[in-house]
Structure formats: structure tokens, C-alpha cells
Amino acid sequence: MKPVIIVNFKTYAQATGENAERLAKLCERAAKQHDADIRVAVQAADIYRVASKVSIPVYAEHVDPIDPGQNTGFILPEDVEAEGAVGTLLNHSEHRLPGKQLEEAVRQAKEAGLKIVLCARTVEEGAALAHLSPEFVAVEPPELIGGTVSVSTANPALIKDAVRLIDAPLLVGAGVHTAEDVRIALALGAKGVLLASGVAKAKDPHEALEELLRL
Ligand code: G3P
């Protein structure tokens, strides 16, 4: 299995609307050139725009635990699937879903045919979520999110523990910028990484992707 690299576009201006399309195309180009498994997670409003322009997998950043009906302003799992998403992040550190709601969101997203990347702030939380059978559990220590020090260098022990204790394929994230960050994560047993600012906020996102893929 190729290492999985999911680029989360968050709500960065550099990764919104027209810029989301541009960045997704750069990700697609890098994926093709390096035969890499790069996926993008984009805002709900950008899913159709991005998914209709690139062939790499597009994920939603979030969906709500709702059925079709009276839910004004919420994100319906069936809708993101219809717009071209193949999966969704859930419970990201910046968009948490408390217990029962998370279980319900997983159920609804699965019913809609979406793959699920379940985010966790700690190994313990990830271990407790694995029974929901996501595609991946992604562990991201919140204090490292958006910084320049990666989980791989700051806390390799966390990755080892996560591999040992979480009964699901593992991604790790927070502060990932370099191929070395990815290499360490893979060497310790993760299947890939979830990252955002290292690519989305880079001066030259093309170069940032090239650096990540010097594996
Ligand atoms: O979902 C990815 C994320 O929260 C990590 O962000 O900017 O540290 O790569 P960043």
C-alpha cells in the first residue's frame, strides 16, 4: 500500500474556492508524477468544484449526523457524496463531535457510502474510536497543529503507542512539513499522514509537495 497523504484545506484563503481548485490540481499533478496516494479534504462548498476537476480522492472536512429533512445549514452526508466526495473527516480537533453525535455521524456517513477518517486528539481517544471501523483513525496532538514541529519529531513515542493501541489503520498529523516527517511516521507503523499548513500555507505549494514526496 502506498503511503496515504491527506491534505486538509481547512478554511485557509489559499485553499478556498478558486484557490481550492488550484491547490487540488497541484496535488493531483504531484500524485501523478510521483505515483503517490494524495487525497484532499475540502470545505463542503468546494466539493463539487474540486471533485469535478481532479481525479484524486476528495473528502469533506466534516458532515453532520443528520438525515435529509429539516436541518437548515447543516452538512448532509448524502449531499457531499452526491457532489463527488468519497469520504469525510470527522471529529477534527477544530470541529469536534461529542460521543453520541459522533457515532451517529459515522453511521449516517457510512450509509451515504462515505469513507471515514476519524480524528483523535490523543492515542487513548483514537483507541476508543476504533470500534467504529473507520477507514483510518488520525491522531493529531492539538498543541502541534499549525506549527512547524511535527508529531514525528516532537513525539515519535506517540506514534508507536498509537500503532500498538489503536485497532484501525493509522494516520498521524500536526506540523508535518517534510519527507523526513512522513518517513518517521511510516517507519513507526503509520499508514500515512494528515496535514494542512505545510502545503496549503506554503509560499510555493508545488515545492512543498515535492519536498514531502522525496520519500
Ligand atoms: O488536519 C490536519 C491538521 O489539523 C494538521 O494541521 O497545519 O499542523 O498540518 P497542520
pLDDT in tens, 168-208: 999 999 999 999 999 999 999 999 999 999 999 999 999 99
Cβ of 88 below 6 Å from ligand 1: no
Q: How far apart are CA 29 and CA 1, in angstroms?
A: 20
Q: How far is the CA of 114 from the centre of ligand 1 (A)?
A: 21
First to last CA, the chain: 14
Cβ of 176 below 6 Å from ligand 1: yes
* Residue 113, C-alpha cell as written in the block: 457510502
Residues in the chain: 215
Q: How far apart are CA 198 and CA 175, in angstroms?
A: 7
**pTM for the model:** 0.98
Q: How far is the CA of 145 from the centre of ligand 1 (A)?
A: 5
Cβ of 201 below 6 Å from ligand 1: no
Domains of the chain in start order, with CATH, are 4-212 (3.20.20.70)
Query: 194 has which bridge partners?
Result: 6, 173
Q: Of 197, 201, 209, 211, which is best to mutate to test ligand 1, by the most ligand atoms within 8 angstroms of its C-beta?
A: 197
Mapping DSSP to helix (H, G, I), strand (E, B) and coil, where does residue 39 land?
strand
Q: 128: pLDDT confidence band, cut at 50, 70 and 90?
A: very high
CA-based nearest residue to 117, from 137, 102, 97, 143: 137
- Per-residue pLDDT of 27-76, as tens digits, reads 999 999 999 999 999 999 999 999 999 999 999 999 999 999 999 999 99
Cβ of 184 below 6 Å from ligand 1: no
Q: 212: pLDDT confidence band, cut at 50, 70 and 90?
A: very high
Q: How far apart are CA 117 and CA 115, in angstroms?
A: 7
Q: How far is the CA of 70 from the centre of ligand 1 (A)?
A: 33
Query: For position 8, what pLDDT does the model report?
Result: 98
Q: How far is the CA of 158 from the centre of ligand 1 (A)?
A: 16
User: What is the chain's mean pLDDT, rounded?
Assistant: 98
Cβ–Cβ < 8 Å for 54, 27? yes
Supply the DSSP string of 142-171, one letter for each residue.
GGGTTSSS-HHHH-HHHHHHHHHH--S-EE
CA-based nearest residue to 140, from 158, 163, 116, 164: 158
What share of the chain in percent tops pLDDT 90? 99
Query: For position 16, what pLDDT does the model report?
Result: 98
Query: For position 52, what pLDDT does the model report?
Result: 98
What residue owns the CA closest to ligand 1's atom 4? 145
Q: How far is the CA of 101 from the centre of ligand 1 (A)?
A: 23
Mean pLDDT value of segment 131-156: 97
Q: Of 4, 5, 10, 177, which is best to mutate to test ligand 1, by the most ligand atoms within 8 angstroms of its C-beta?
A: 10
Cβ of 197 below 6 Å from ligand 1: yes
Mean pLDDT value of segment 106-120: 98
Cβ of 117 below 6 Å from ligand 1: no
Mapping DSSP to helix (H, G, I), strand (E, B) and coil, where does residue 120 land?
strand
Cβ of 173 below 6 Å from ligand 1: yes
